[in-house]
Structure 1
Amino acid sequence: MTSFRISAQQPASEEVRRVAQDRLERAIEAIGKGTPKGVHDARKRLKEVRALLRLVRKPLGKRAFAACNGRFRDTARELSTLRDATAIVECWEALAEREPARFASLPFKRIEGRLLARVEAEPAEPRDHQALIEGLRGAADAVGDWPLRSEGFSLFRAGLLRTYQDGRRAMKAAQQNPSDELLHDWRKRVKDHWYQTRLLREAWPRLFKARQKSLETLADCLGDDHDLAMLQLLMKEQAELFGAQVTFDELAAVVAQRRAELQSRAWREGHLLYAEKPDALVSLWGNYWRVARKER
């Protein structure tokens, strides 16, 4: 979606408001469809808005940031979703693509059937989200009142610095203690940096496009790992879904091996993406932004 970017040629504050209103309007439209896909799309649009908010956190002010971020976070939580059940089915399918012969066996096909039944057992009727829609319409109308007084790259400097620093800290914490929770926290910070890289890619499109791709790869590795962690948790809590002990043990070994592979790749990508010192990265991006403004 080309609208999710900030033009270097326009006043920065106006661009931030334009992008925020566009994302909120898309979220409202998606919710109004009343479908699981619509709900999923709306949640993605709200994540984009929250990443934009973090980019202008300091000029926006603590009170305004907390109010807006809280509203969009709570709205996303209230949206009904089959995410947990469907994520497990999706990661099962991904494992099956890697080892088709193993997953075509009768014991594994029976497990797949039980996992699919969990999804089908979820209520299919779309919920009435009219109150959420009205709340987002009010939020979109209020975007014009956001207190953004800085212009140019200075509007983004503090937010970019904090997001990048948070990502480095989260990576370090996850390396020291690779728990499911800390790995998931790191993924959220990676996604923030990915969204902000997309927003600022006009600084140097070719370079930023490559960084976007690497961040997306990293986020996908951590996301797939999180889905497998959910599968492991389900295996612990509802072992009866996974058949005889020998089948359970076989699956457990497959999942553990795949998680080790995903985490190994995540560390490689992460060390490259977060190699730059925070102040140096922000200064460099600021220089790119100023060149982009002059050249165009």
Structure 2
Amino acid sequence: ILADLADQPAPDRSGALTQLDRALNRFRRLKIEPDDFHTLERGLERSYRRGVRLFAVAYHDQGDESFHDWRKGAQSYWRHMALLSRAWPEHFDAGVGVARELSQILGNDHDLAILKLRVGSLAPDALAANDRTAIERFICERQELLRRAARPRGDMIFSERPKAFARRIGAIWSAAAARSHADEALDAAHRGTEKVTLEALAGE
């Protein structure tokens, strides 16, 4: 394997960096219309709705692929929340943390599912029958524990109706924007008051 890798051409690092620079410049010129939360709301609601649905499907059919799909929904959730976290870090960071925990648990579950497939694909004489049975039983027991741990975290994240979730996040976003503008005005007024006071003291 190492010999095969040595024969392959080295990655074009400079070319990749050039492409990344071009992508960054295009991103900086990107215009978002309208420039408010409504541009994000539909995508956020759609992504959250998908996470809710995949959560329900996973525990309905108990399939390995269903839990793997739900992991993708959890990852979409925490990435959305991470993007929005500047609006209220203390609030969003908690959800991001739980979603990352959930994603890790479901990732471990998927690793076990892959191991189960590999064991099942071995030649009949590759493992003793008792060993094969013990491994498969261990995998199933561990997956059951992981899925039991995942469920309450899913309830914490995906317990809202999608429309209500999107409206709540939108309200937080709008309130954060209003707070920022109000704080800027307050700071400007405070600086103006300080300037007048200093000028008055200097004139005495």
Q: In the superposition, relative to structure 1, how do residues 192 and 123 fare at CA in structure 2: closer, same or farther (>3 Å)?
A: farther
Determine which of 92, 114, 118 is the counterpart of 1:208. 92
**What is the letter of the counterpart of residue 156 of structure 2?**
L
Q: TM-score, normalised by structure 1?
A: 0.54
What per-residue deviation string (whole Å, max 9, x for no partner) do you get for residues 117-163 of structure 1? xxx87965475332972554443343245452221222211111111
Q: In the superposition, relative to structure 1, how do residues 254 and 273 fare at CA in structure 2: closer, same or farther (>3 Å)?
A: same
Residue in 1 that maps onto 2:183: none
Q: In the superposition, relative to structure 1, how do residues 284 and 122 fare at CA in structure 2: closer, same or farther (>3 Å)?
A: farther
Q: What CA distance in whole angstroms lies between the structure 2 residues aligned with 1:260 and 1:245?
A: 23
Shift of the alpha carbon at 1:271?
A: 2.0
Q: What CA distance in whole angstroms lies between the structure 1 residues aligned with 2:172 and 2:110?
A: 35
Question: Higher mean Cα deviation, 245-254 or 271-280?
Answer: 245-254
Q: In the superposition, relative to structure 1, how do residues 139 and 235 fare at CA in structure 2: closer, same or farther (>3 Å)?
A: same
Residue 290 (structure 1) aligned with residue 174 (structure 2): yes
Q: In the superposition, relative to structure 1, how do residues 123 and 210 fare at CA in structure 2: closer, same or farther (>3 Å)?
A: farther
Q: In the superposition, relative to structure 1, how do residues 143 and 163 fare at CA in structure 2: closer, same or farther (>3 Å)?
A: same
Q: What CA distance in whole angstroms lies between the structure 2 residues aligned with 1:226 and 1:199?
A: 26
**What is the letter of the counterpart of residue 129 of structure 1?**
P
Q: What CA distance in whole angstroms lies between the structure 1 residues aligned with 2:139 and 2:174?
A: 47
Q: TM-score, normalised by structure 2?
A: 0.76
Determine which of 92, 103, 108 is the counterpart of 1:224. 108
Residue in 2 that maps onto 1:188: 72
Q: In the superposition, relative to structure 1, how do residues 128 and 210 fare at CA in structure 2: closer, same or farther (>3 Å)?
A: same
Residue in 1 that maps onto 2:36: 152
Q: What CA distance in whole angstroms lies between the structure 2 residues aligned with 1:184 and 1:122?
A: 34
**5+ residue gaps, structure 1:** 1-119
How many residue pairs match? The answer is 177
Q: What's the RMSD between the two structures over aligned residues? A: 2.6
Q: What CA distance in whole angstroms lies between the structure 2 residues aligned with 1:210 and 1:272?
A: 11
Aligned residues: percent identity? 27
Shift of the alpha carbon at 1:201?
A: 1.0
Shift of the alpha carbon at 1:247?
A: 2.2
Matched position secondary structure for 2:94: helix
Alignment of 1:273-284 (within 5 A): 273-284=157-168
Residue in 1 that maps onto 2:52: 168
Determine which of 250, 271, 295 is the counterpart of 2:134. 250
Matched position secondary structure for 1:211: helix
